[in-house]
Amino acid sequence: MQLIAIGVGGAIGALARYLLGGAVHRLVPGFFPYGTFVVNLLGCVVFGVIVGLAESRFVIGPLGRAFVLIGVLGGFTTFSSFTYETFELVRSGQIWPAAINVVGQVGLGFIGLWAGFGLGRAA
């Protein structure tokens, strides 16, 4: 049942990302990726609200958490998961692992994409 909840949630999140990103791009045209920026920021806020509510009031069960956090928000933006995991590292006093997570994922992700792009163009 959990896999179905995650899959359905992921489909909803992906469609929401596409629709919101496209709407933002139409409202604010230009080269800067405003749609992705808005989606990532909104995903982080919603993720934080849900986790905060769940932590303080236990308003969401394990299946609901999987559906919303992994499915919907995972399909909407994995950036919110990355940010939450970094937040949890900072919150538990693990500043260096948090910094390594940020620099590693962003920096190495950029390098990886650049390398993959080069390989794709060379093929």
The pLDDT value given to residue 21: 94
Instruction: Determine the Cα–Cα distance for residues 45 and 21; give it in Å rounded to an integer.
Output: 16
At 13-63, the pLDDT tens digits run 999 999 999 999 999 988 888 999 999 999 999 999 988 888 888 778 889
Model-level pTM?
0.81
The pLDDT value given to residue 9: 97
At 57-111, the pLDDT tens digits run 877 888 999 999 999 999 999 898 899 999 999 999 999 999 999 999 999 999 9
The pLDDT value given to residue 117: 93
The pLDDT value given to residue 46: 92
Q: Are 50 and 80 in contact (CB under 8 A)?
A: no
- Which stretches of the chain are DSSP H helices? 2-27, 34-57, 62-65, 73-76, 79-91, 95-103, 109-122
% residues pLDDT > 90 (the chain): 77
The pLDDT value given to residue 78: 85
Query: Which of these, 89, 1, 78, lies nearest to 44 by C-alpha position?
Result: 78
